[in-house]
Amino acid sequence: MIETTNITFSPERLAEVQTLLKRYPEGKQKSAILPILHLAQKDFGWISVEVMDYVAELLDIQHIEVYEVATFYTMFHLKPVGKNVLEVCRTGPCMLVGSDNIVKYLEQKLSIQDGETTPDGLFTIKTVECLGACGYGPMMQVGEKYHEFLSEERIDQLLEGFRQNATQP
């Protein structure tokens, strides 16, 4: 699990933030909040209050303005999550092709329930609503990657891959 202790962007990230801010007119820098929250989640693992406060200061807006936004959008993890968040689509079209089974299989394999994280901090299962892959279900998103046409065998392979990744230096 990644803990948020040192909340500061690297100089490269800060440069990226500056580029982002230029996309919006003078005085409308609040618009950069979602792109910056995405960067923050990437770097710090999850969006803690400290992270939200840091983003507010970067944007020179009230802290509450960031809290309001971060709690509205489901992509932001407001609690610590595992290294790999397995976001499985549970909506109608995916359900028609067996997403329920996929969730159940993952829960059994990892001995955790939807929303929980494995004790080793490697995996979190999170059911989500439609991800725009409805014809290629069952599917899940892990990080920025879409894994489609899932089956039990495919899940086994993917989990194995994530585990190996975790042990690599």
Partner 1 sequence: MSRLKILTEHIDKPEITGIEGYIKHGGYRAVEKALKKMQPDEVTEEVKKSGLRGRGGAGFPTGMKWSFIFKGNDKPRYLLCNADESEPGTFKDRLLMEKIPHLLIEGMIASSFALGVKTAYIYIRGEYMYILHILQKAIDEAYAKGYLGENILGTTYSLDLHVHPGGGAYICGEETALIESLEGKRGNPRIKPPFPAVEGLWGCPTIVNNVETICKVPFIINEGGETYANIGIGASTGTKLISACGNINKPGVYEIELGVPVEEFIYSDEYCGGIKGGKQLKALVPGGSSVPILPNRLITKTAKGEPRLMSYESLSDGGFPTGSMLGSGGFIVFDEDQCIVRNTWNFSRFYHHESCGQCSPCREGTGWMEKILHRMEYGHGRMEDIDLLWDVQRKIEGNTICPFGDASAWPVAAAIRHFRDEFEWHVLHPAEATRRNYGMGRSAEPIEQVTA
Annotated binding site: 89, 94, 130, 134
CA distance readout (Å), 156 to 93, 141, 153: 23, 15, 5
- Cα gap 28→21, rounded to integer Å: 9
Stretch that binds partner 1, among 9-17, 78-86, 140-148, 157-165 (CB under 8 A): 140-148
Q: Locate 12 and state its tokens.
A: 């490269």
- Cα gap 86→83, rounded to integer Å: 10
Q: Are 140 and 87 in contact (CB under 8 A)?
A: yes
Nearer to ligand FES, 73 or 149 (CB): 149
Taking each helix axis from N to C terminus, what angle separates 33-44 and 49-59, rounded to the nearest 10 degrees? 140
Stretch that binds partner 1, among 2-10, 116-124, 136-144, 160-168 (CB under 8 A): 136-144
Stretch that binds partner 1, among 6-14, 70-78, 115-123, 160-168 (CB under 8 A): 70-78
Site string for partner 1, 22-51 (x = CB under 8 A): -x-x--x-xxxxxx-xx-------------
Q: In 3D, which of 128, 154, 150, 156 has the Cα closest to residue 137? A: 150
- Residues of the binding site for [2Fe-2S] cluster: 89, 94, 130, 134
* Residues making contact with partner 1 (CB under 8 A): 23, 25, 28, 30-35, 37-38, 59, 61, 65, 68-69, 72-76, 90-93, 95-98, 100-101, 103-104, 107, 128-137, 141, 144-146
